[in-house]
Structure 1
């Protein structure tokens, strides 16, 4: 599914994100359709990836169910493989990025000679992919369009984006969710390297929203061989969509003005789909079952689910 165009009873708003189509129902519920669109460098790529939406939605459902004892989450039901219906929350305008290892954006910052990221000082003497002494939180602003921007804890509070009390609670939830995610990953022979969480609020209650611990929002390494690879300077074998970013960079695209997205051949699209299915099975330990649902049937099933809530 590249995009959806449902007409749902009680629908009061519609928002099309980079990957998700979000329907607001009576200002109290949200029906989130996780499309097969794929984004990188905050750019939506021109071709969909078959079953990617199903992978993301089902991984998120499993992970949210496994962490609901830590923090309430927004999910009410998942009526379709790529659809979740849940509570509409007032969203905090920041994403809580948490990093256990010096990888990706953190490593590029470190390699440039900088030692402060989002107000957090990174210790000297680290190599790419080394563990931080303790996980660090490096928040970003949440942009509806364009690029998310790094921001510090102090700036978030000073600008009034999140109150000090709420932000401190978000930090606690973030670290607790990351710890649970690491424990779950370890049971699968994986290391949860970094991830991001989004939160919202209804009244005085904070909820974790959107997706968690998916291959789009997270990076995983295989635990087997990690130490040996660090000692030898070999790149870590990882589970994430980083391979898509690497392919784009190798073909001259990093989302900068004037750059063109390279051609996505049928072979490349198929290989990305297969990698997402591999990610699902490795992260969850479950066999992936491909499900295709016609648009008309999808709409009727969503409507039936909404009527039951």
Structure 2
């Protein structure tokens, strides 16, 4: 991320007619091929620093969903402009400090906790007798903290800890909500976005299993503050997407990062390092000191580009020199590089 100078931000807002305050801070976001899992950045053999095609796939998917959101009259996003397939021009937002998670199936971390006897999740009680990967009777909103939040009663000061709706209501300001009423607003936007993506994926015979959204506040050109979508949406990084035909046959075929996570859990002899937050130093060392097999990263590339092409209906084309393309467009079309 590259924050623009105040002068460049003001100039672009005026030249491009962005619907933001004249003094709104703007930034350039460049999407990379780096891949993270279990809070670590991973690399491959031979000096490979990421997954070929991952950045292009994620950007194409996010841009596709944000376009669909606009067509369906949903809230705005932080993205003001897309000058290149790898680049967003964004406005600075005041982030809501909640990872907004919506689940339609019981799987992943929820299933692991459920199978160990837990029945309450973020203040919601699940019945006995559920089976792994089963569709839930209703969508569940199971938020977690975004970053380390201190001084909130009953909420441990650690990243990514589950919180209930009552936690949010009782401490809305600590979570960066402007009002308690905005909690319902974020839940509405989360469900609306989930449903738009889910319905579109169903037409492609894909299942939208669960997802994480992020929200924040910005002001428009008239100074009206509004809640918007932030970061990316509906990508294999932040969501689980299953192949519906395989699911009907009783199998799970992941079109998301979950396959990469499962590979990591089976690749290392002590998977507890990846699951136990009390062993973070060991986990960081594991990611730093171990280059993953090239074929493992290329399998991720195949999954990401494959689902991107299915969603967008367009081929993911990898540029020979994306860095120079980005420099050229930001220089010639936006006057940001000398």
Aligned equivalents of 2:53, 2:148: Cα separation in 1: 24
Aligned equivalents of 1:265, 1:11: Cα separation in 2: 46
Q: Which residue of 1 aligns with 2:120?
A: 116
Which stretch of structure 1 is more off in the superposition, 60-69 or 86-95?
Answer: 86-95
From the two aligned structures, give the one with the greater helix fraction.
2
Which of 86, 104, 109 is matched with 1:105 structurally? 109
Q: Which residue of 1 aligns with 2:239?
A: 218
Q: Which residue of 2 aligns with 1:16?
A: none
Which stretch of structure 1 is more off in the superposition, 75-84 or 61-70?
Answer: 75-84
Given that 2:98 and 2:214 are in contact with CA atoms closer than 8 Å, whether structure 1 keeps it comes out as yes
Q: 1:282 to 1:176 in 2, by over 3 A?
A: same
Which of 213, 223, 226 is matched with 1:205 structurally? 226
Q: CA deviation at 1:153?
A: 1.5
1:28 to 2:28 alignment: no
Which one has the largest radius of gyration? Answer: 2
Aligned equivalents of 2:4, 2:29: Cα separation in 1: 12
Q: CA deviation at 1:32?
A: 1.3
Gaps of 5+ in 1: 14-24, 230-234
Q: Secondary structure at the match of 2:66?
A: helix
Gaps of 5+ in 2: 10-21, 44-48, 150-157, 220-224
Aligned equivalents of 1:250, 1:58: Cα separation in 2: 30
Aligned equivalents of 1:119, 1:236: Cα separation in 2: 28
- TM-score (normalizing by structure 2): 0.78
1:62 to 2:78 alignment: no
- TM-score (normalizing by structure 1): 0.85
Aligned equivalents of 1:192, 1:168: Cα separation in 2: 22
Given that 1:190 and 1:222 are in contact with CA atoms closer than 8 Å, whether structure 2 keeps it comes out as yes
Aligned equivalents of 2:328, 2:5: Cα separation in 1: 11
Q: CA deviation at 1:11?
A: 8.5
Given that 2:102 and 2:140 are in contact with CA atoms closer than 8 Å, whether structure 1 keeps it comes out as yes
Q: Which residue of 2 aligns with 1:81?
A: 85
Q: Which residue of 1 aligns with 2:163?
A: 151
Q: CA deviation at 1:299?
A: 2.9
Write out aligned runs for 1:227-266 (5 A).
227-229=248-250, 235-252=251-268, 253=271, 254=274, 256-257=279-280, 258-259=282-283, 260-261=286-287, 262-266=290-294
Q: 1:297 to 1:11 in 2, by over 3 A?
A: farther
Aligned equivalents of 1:11, 1:33: Cα separation in 2: 21
Q: 1:49 to 1:98 in 2, by over 3 A?
A: same
Q: Which residue of 2 aligns with 1:280?
A: 308
Given that 1:42 and 1:147 are in contact with CA atoms closer than 8 Å, whether structure 2 keeps it comes out as no
Given that 1:141 and 1:149 are in contact with CA atoms closer than 8 Å, whether structure 2 keeps it comes out as yes
Aligned equivalents of 1:294, 1:249: Cα separation in 2: 33
- The aligned length equals 288
What's the RMSD between the two structures over aligned residues?
A: 2.6
From the two aligned structures, give the one with the greater strand fraction.
1
Bigger relative contact order, structure 1 or 2, given CA contacts below 8 A and separation 6+?
A: 2
Q: CA deviation at 1:87?
A: 2.3
Given that 2:102 and 2:141 are in contact with CA atoms closer than 8 Å, whether structure 1 keeps it comes out as yes
